[in-house]
Amino acid sequence: MSDDADFDPAAYDDCQSFVVEYGRELLDVLDPRPGERILDLGCGTGHLTAEIDAAVGEAGAAIGIDASPAMVAEARETYPDREFARVDATAFEPTDPFDAVFSNAALHWIDDQNAALAAVADALRPGGRFVAELGTTGNVAAIVDAVRAEGRARGVQVEAPWHFPSLGDYATRLESHGFEVRLARVFERETTLDGPDGLESWLDQFGDDLLAAFDDPADAITAVEDRLRSTHYDSGAEEWTVTYRRLQFRAILSAESPYSSSQ
Ligand code: BEZ
């Protein structure tokens, strides 16, 4: 997301709570153990960080980081006893190594993927694990395609701000940063947005950069709703559904990683 944009934490918790709910499935892949130090990269409003912190117990620690000042402020207010830092994932320099780095629905926001993976590798102890979920090829394609089509109709160029890599590309990238990919899968998740205004709230929350080229983004959102209503809106249930395509992985940092500073 652009530097001057920020998320609205209240709207995020109210309307995008599925992000955290689905993130709980990823906690099973993480399998946090008592005594571990775990970094939650892109922690948002901190709910999953708090769950990880509870799982690692007094002897361990979970630290949440996020680039959004508003999200970190909200996380600190909700969980005053837990540790959060406002820092860009590519610039994070921990004092002590982590046993695991966890990231749910955050990596696709990062422009410099190599810098992010180098920072993750540097944050982990050798043998530490990186467990993450992000959008993969075709993620939220219905929304992106409808916004692009509306852009073409109005003569504006739409740039999608997200990085949705294929499994093959990301596994190769992870390997080039010293990780061994032990588990990786792609799957589709039909995702119901929150109520009759769910698509509008989604675009309000996440679409600033996607809609940046439009003179009147609110009007563009209405037009995008019109484009998608017949295929993605259930008027009986009064809800929108879009296909999220996910890449989930668990990768282990090799002991000989050139990026690992903590042997
Ligand atoms: C996602 O979690 O896949 C996502 C969320 C917001 C914008 C784009 C993708």
Say which CATH superfamily domain 9-140+162-193+244-256 falls into: Vaccinia Virus protein VP39 (3.40.50.150)
Q: pLDDT by residue (tens digit) across 168-201?
A: 999 999 999 999 999 999 999 999 998 999 999 9
**Residue with CA nearest ligand 1 atom 9:** 135
Region 231-242 average pLDDT: 97
**Residue with CA nearest ligand 1 atom 7:** 206
Question: Quick check: CB of 107 below 6 Å from ligand 1?
Answer: no
The pTM of this model reads 0.92
The structure tokens listed for 16 are 């995008």
Give the number of the atom of ligand 1 that is nearest the alpha carbon of residue 105.
Answer: 2
Residue 3 predicted with pLDDT over 50:
no
Question: Quick check: CB of 105 below 6 Å from ligand 1?
Answer: yes
* Residue 162, CA atoms < 13 Å, CB-side half-sphere: 22
Higher pLDDT, 15 or 259: 15
Q: Buried b vs exposed e over 116-142: b needs ≥16 C-beta within 10 Å?
A: bbbbbbbbbbbebbbbbbbbbebbbbb
| Rounded percentage of the chain residues whose pLDDT exceeds 70 | 94
The structure tokens listed for 58 are 């007094």
Average pLDDT score, the chain: 93
User: To test the ligand 1 pocket, which listed residue (7, 17, 186, 244) has its Cβ within 8 A of the most ligand atoms?
Assistant: 244
The 8-class DSSP code of residue 101 comes to E
Q: How confident is the model at residue 256 (pLDDT cuts 50, 70, 90)?
A: low
* Ligand 1 centre distance from Cα of residue 49 (Å): 19
Question: Quick check: CB of 247 below 6 Å from ligand 1?
Answer: no
* Ligand 1 centre distance from Cα of residue 88 (Å): 18
Residue 18 predicted with pLDDT over 70:
yes
Q: What is the pLDDT of residue 22?
A: 85
Q: pLDDT by residue (tens digit) across 101-159?
A: 999 999 999 999 999 999 999 999 999 999 999 999 999 999 999 999 999 999 999 99
Q: pLDDT by residue (tens digit) across 147-162?
A: 999 999 999 999 999 9
